[in-house]
Amino acid sequence: MAPPDRSDTPRDTGILEEAGIQSDSNMRHNAERLASWLEFLLHPEEHEYDRTVIYGTEFGGEGHKKEEPGPVAPSSSDQPGTVPSDAQLPFESVLEGYQISQFIHGMSAVASPVVESADNALAPGAAALSNIWWMGDKRVPSLVDQFQQLGWEGDASTVTFDFLLRLQTVTGQVHKLAEQLHDVIPKYAVVIKGVRHNLDEAAAGCVRAFEKKFAEKPATELSVDWGAVILAGIAAAAVTYMTAGTALILEAAITSAWSTAFTDAAGDLLKPSGGAVSGYWWRDLAHSYLRKQADILEDGKNEIDQLNRKVDGLIKYFNNDQDIQKFLADYGPRP
């Protein structure tokens, strides 16, 4: 249900574009519905429905405020039915002081990154790490085995074989790092997806709460549940995807690899949960929603921090591994 005399689309969609919530975003529908209700609630001067009436100012006092379902006439007025504007007590929005941008702040924070399709910044890295894993697990050990069957003897053969043995040791260590890093990469994308889904569900829950509050005007606090997902145990979750690749990372391989990695990670990391937008006054409902928005963003940040710590640990392991660093010193690029 849209606000009276309005649609599910706000009159001004520019604020959504400015927030990066474009027309093709999965969050756009609920962002529009929420923004339309907020436009309505923030501008009671455009209608004769819910507003906060300021009582007592007609007698020179500072007045007190109370939510009302429509205009209120001064006590000295005897206007039946709809109160003319010149006979209304002063009023303001039931959400006075709030701005629409506060309610779509969370959506804006995660609206831009491309994560589900293969044309994102993480996908080539996942495919490259898959190739590194494959080289360390299959190709270099196979090369060492085949070299021993060549029957090549002499000093050059000895030097070459020593090099291959060192290479096998180093690629084995790098293989372990690549395997763990490969597990981490799609999890960044899944965190973004999960946060988006949660924020979208929370916005839908807020809209349902607004609709119920307006239509039913309940005498007690109302609560509207919304289904969502939680981001649970990302650092420990198992991503089983590993694939044999080729030395060349082709676009088709990246697409296939990312689709599998993302799907596997999402299956392990996104688990059903739920939440509620609750309260009695309009401001209660707004505060409840904004609290949920902040909690969702905080949960997402904590999950990203876990991943960052894991990556930082793997980088330190690489930098401190004596075999790897000695090999790079002996055979790496010269300045």
User: Is 48 inside any structural domain?
Assistant: yes
Do 59 and 171 lie in a common domain? Answer: no
Do 165 and 19 lie in a common domain? Answer: no
Inter-axis angle of helices 155-216 and 322-331, nearest 10:
120
Of the candidates 106, 122, 150, which is a domain's last residue?
A: 106
User: Is 1 inside any structural domain?
Assistant: no
d(CA 25, CA 44): 30
- The per-residue DSSP string of 36-94 comes to HHHHHHH-GGGSSSSEEEEESGGGTS--EEEEESS----TT----SSPPGGGPPPEE-T
Q: Is the pLDDT of residue 107 over 70?
A: yes
Under 8 Å between Cβ of 229 and 267 = no
CA angle 303, 304, 306 (to 5 degrees): 65
Residue 32, domain extent: 14-106
The dihedral built from the CA positions of residue 130, 133, 134 and 139, taken in this order, carries a sign that is positive
List pLDDT tens digits, range 138-151: 555 665 566 566 66
User: Is 7 inside any structural domain?
Assistant: no
pLDDT of residue 242: 29
Sequence-separated (6 or more) residues with CB below 8 Å from residue 199: 27, 106, 107, 110, 293, 296
Do 119 and 252 lie in a common domain? Answer: yes
d(CA 161, CA 150): 11
User: Is 201 inside any structural domain?
Assistant: yes
Overall domain count for the chain = 2
Q: Is the pLDDT of residue 58 over 70?
A: no
Do 149 and 102 lie in a common domain? Answer: no
Of the candidates 106, 138, 172, which is a domain's last residue?
A: 106
Do 202 and 236 lie in a common domain? Answer: yes
Q: Is the pLDDT of residue 287 over 90?
A: yes
pLDDT of residue 291: 95
> If we measure between CA atoms, which residue out of 106, 306, 21 comes closest to residue 188?
306
User: Is 175 inside any structural domain?
Assistant: yes
Q: Is the pLDDT of residue 280 over 50?
A: yes
List pLDDT tens digits, range 173-211: 666 666 666 667 777 778 888 889 999 999 999 999 999
Q: Is the pLDDT of residue 82 over 70?
A: no
Question: Which pLDDT band, with edges at 50, 70 and 90, does 4 fall under?
Answer: very high
Chain Cα centroid distance, residue 139: 38
Do 162 and 291 lie in a common domain? Answer: yes
In 217-321, where does DSSP find H-type helix? 251-269, 282-320
Rounded to an integer, the average pLDDT of 96-115 is 90
Do 304 and 186 lie in a common domain? Answer: yes
Do 67 and 151 lie in a common domain? Answer: no
User: Is 6 inside any structural domain?
Assistant: no
Q: Is the pLDDT of residue 64 over 80?
A: yes
More confident residue, 115 or 110: 110
Q: Is the pLDDT of residue 168 over 80?
A: no
More confident residue, 112 or 154: 112
Could you tell me the pTM of the whole model? 0.75
Under 8 Å between Cβ of 21 and 111 = yes
Q: Is the pLDDT of residue 80 over 80?
A: no
pLDDT of residue 56: 78
More confident residue, 61 or 114: 114
Do 85 and 118 lie in a common domain? Answer: no
Do 283 and 248 lie in a common domain? Answer: yes
List pLDDT tens digits, range 215-270: 999 989 999 998 887 776 554 432 322 233 333 344 555 555 556 666 766 666 67
d(CA 156, CA 160): 6
pLDDT of residue 293: 93
% the chain with pLDDT above 90: 36
Do 161 and 298 lie in a common domain? Answer: yes
More confident residue, 260 or 276: 276
> If we measure between CA atoms, which residue out of 51, 81, 54, 95 comes closest to residue 69?
51
Please tell me the least confidently modeled range out of 165-169, 177-181, 265-269, 318-322: 165-169
pLDDT of residue 117: 62
Of the candidates 106, 136, 153, which is a domain's last residue?
A: 106
User: Is 8 inside any structural domain?
Assistant: no
d(CA 55, CA 62): 9
pLDDT of residue 112: 82
Provide φ and ψ at 192, rounded to 5°.
-60, -45
Q: Is the pLDDT of residue 61 over 70?
A: no
User: Is 9 inside any structural domain?
Assistant: no
pLDDT of residue 322: 79
Under 8 Å between Cβ of 100 and 39 = yes
Do 74 and 208 lie in a common domain? Answer: no
The pLDDT mean for the chain works out to 77
Q: Is the pLDDT of residue 135 over 70?
A: no
